[in-house]
Amino acid sequence: MTANGRLRGRSLEPVAGNGLIDRRALIGRGIAFAGAMTGVGVTGAAAEPLTDAPWSREMGAVTPALQTPSRFEKHVVRTLSNPDNEFRNSHARTPHHLLNGTVTPNSLHFSINHSGLPDIDPDRHRLAIHGLVKQPMVYTVEALSRYPMVSRMAFLECGGNSAPMFSNEPLQASAQALHGLVSCAEWTGVKLSTLLEETGVDPAAKWFIAEGADSHALSRSVPLKKGFDDAMIALYQNGERLMPGNGYPMRLLLPGYEGNMNVKFLRRIKLVDAPAMSMYEARTYSQILPDGKAYRFYFLQEVKSFITHPSFGHSLKGPGFYEISGIAYSGAGRIAKVMVSADGGKSYAEAALQAPVLPKAFTRFRMPWRWDGQPVVLQSRAWDEGGNVQPTRAEFVALRGETKAPPPLLGFPNQHYNSLTSWAIDANGGVKHVYA
Ligand SMILES: Nc1nc2c(c(=O)[nH]1)N[C@H]1C(S)=C(S)[C@@H](COP(=O)(O)O)O[C@H]1N2
Ligand SMILES: [Mo]
């Protein structure tokens, strides 16, 4: 027998409860799954010869200068918390249940703006680096564009992402509504260390304050060590200039750190000897714990994963083969392992991780599954290369607490949820959010 034949024979046997199949079946996918999809929209070629639809018989439309998705994809949009632009912050959430892969398209990257979208003229924008430096400097966008640049993939997550998961009852909401404040892009720009080498640093400097050019001048204190590590002044996002909602014309990128610290519309970096205790670090992002203590300077977005396919908003069209897939990431480094369960955490099987697995970036995991049509509960759990693991819900709630449904959107506790997400599939293929 061939290797594929052996693999096929062995791998289609379930390796964990409710039909999870060995991830190695994905290697020989064409052979292992041949025949399995018949009757679910895949038909034998002989059954129905192709006929020409109207678009096959005439000249197509003009090829546009700037292309947008097909009109049949109009539902694939961000959801907005402040569509009338009232005088408060605005959130736009990424539709994870409608995307795949690991890159968030720029038009769908999540966005949080505390005082609207500034209309910044790149020719008039300036970045100043001053404070405890040897030589203060002011940079134009054009000047910065001439420095050596680097590109890297990085996820960006708001500390308040998944806040609805603090509710003591599972809210019936999509991955977009629950987890839409995280996205992943390839960022290109100048490393902050390159600029700090130019300005020189006074040995007394231990932190820097980053400030944005939007009207509420968001500012956060960052340990100088991060500035010399992987901090970047990002100018490009997935190959094009930053989107206005993501910080045009430049932003601070702190891979793995709380979204709020990634200051957009960046105009100032001031080196200081102690943190500023600005509003966001002293108030919003000093997480209060059930015992009355608080986490101060809780920068890291910890290891996390959630299943995007299938998830709330989808429905399964009858028993048979499906691929379970989702996103895993950790602010501490690479994802090491993702385990998937179809029986609410009683048994787990290891998912396949799609290469390349990059540090502090989305990793797509995939798990072959044969659904027998009975109710099941799907969940995923991730480990990172530092040995950190996503806490179970019971562990997380014991440490961090929960609130009565519906949870307050602002207020406490609502930061840094990184526990598990569970989706219950009923016998009709409907998907519900549950705690398991
Ligand atoms: N200048 C400025 N920077 C900002 C914000 C802002 O409103 N103004 N929002 C912050 C918050 S709360 C988050 S979570 C991230 C979101 O980055 P994104 O909008 O590019 O996704 O930007 C941060 N940086
Ligand atoms: Mo945020």
pLDDT, residue 5, reads 34
Round to whole Å and give the CA distance between 29 and 23. 10
Beta bridge partners of 139: 127
Round to whole Å and give the CA distance between 398 and 418. 13
pLDDT, residue 24, reads 87
Closest ligand 1 atom to 183 CA: 21
Closest CA to 225 of 256, 198, 192, 200: 192
Distance from the CA of 252 to the center of ligand 1, in angstroms? 10
Whether 238 contacts 105, CB under 8 Å: yes
Count Cα neighbours of 113 within 13 Å in the Cβ-side half-sphere.
25
**Alpha-carbon dihedral 349, 309, 420, 230, rounded to 10 degrees:** 100
pLDDT, residue 50, reads 87
- φ, ψ of residue 326 in degrees (nearest 5): -165, -170
The token pair at 329 is 């990431």
Protein residues with CB under 6 Å of any ligand 1 atom: 109-114, 156, 158, 212, 214, 218, 245-247, 259-260, 262-265
Closest CA to 154 of 300, 358, 327, 302: 358
Distance from the CA of 212 to the center of ligand 1, in angstroms? 9
Please write the tens of the pLDDT for every residue from 122-156: 999 999 999 999 999 999 999 999 999 999 999 99
**Residue 274, domain member (yes or no):** yes
Round to whole Å and give the CA distance between 381 and 391. 8
State the Cα angle at 100 between 71 and 328, rounded to 5°.
Answer: 150
Weakly modelled stretches of the chain, pLDDT under 70: 1-11, 28-41, 43-47, 407-413
Closest ligand 1 atom to 157 CA: 14
Round to whole Å and give the CA distance between 125 and 373. 58
| Residue 178 one-letter amino acid | L
| Residue 203 one-letter amino acid | P
Task: Choose one of 209, 242, 264 to mutate for the ligand 1 pocket test, by most ligand atoms within 8 angstroms of C-beta.
Answer: 264
Distance from the CA of 380 to the center of ligand 1, in angstroms? 28
Distance from the CA of 100 to the center of ligand 1, in angstroms? 24
Atom 18 of ligand 1, residue of closest alpha carbon: 111
Whether 318 contacts 373, CB under 8 Å: yes
CATH code of the domain covering residue 239: 3.90.420.10
Look up the domain containing 231 and give its range.
126-160+184-284
**Residue 331, domain member (yes or no):** no
Round to whole Å and give the CA distance between 388 and 199. 37
- Taking the CA of 216 as reference, the closest ligand is 1
Question: What is the SS3 assignment for 72?
Answer: helix
| Tokens 């203060």 belong to residue | 136
**Residue 275, domain member (yes or no):** yes
Distance from the CA of 371 to the center of ligand 2, in angstroms? 38
Count of H helices and E strands in the chain? 8, 26
Atom 12 of ligand 1, residue of closest alpha carbon: 260
**DSSP string for 2-54:** -HHHHHHHHHTSEEEGGGEE-GGGGTTHHHHHTTTTBTTTB--GGGS-----G
Q: How far is CA 434 from CA 256, 329, 346, in A?
A: 28, 22, 15
**Alpha-carbon dihedral 148, 109, 265, 195, rounded to 10 degrees:** -20
**Residue 224, domain member (yes or no):** yes
Distance from the CA of 38 to the center of ligand 1, in angstroms? 47
Give, for 127, the enclosing helix (H) or strand (E). Answer: strand 126-131
Q: How many structural domains are present in the chain?
A: 1
Closest ligand 1 atom to 247 CA: 20
| Tokens 């002293």 belong to residue | 282
Closest ligand 1 atom to 158 CA: 14
Please write the tens of the pLDDT for every residue from 241-272: 999 999 999 999 999 999 999 999 999 999 99
* Predicted TM-score of the model (pTM): 0.94
**Residue 119, domain member (yes or no):** no
Q: How far is CA 285 from CA 105, 278, 298, 331, 400, in A?
A: 28, 10, 7, 17, 14
Closest CA to 432 of 221, 141, 169: 169
pLDDT, residue 6, reads 40
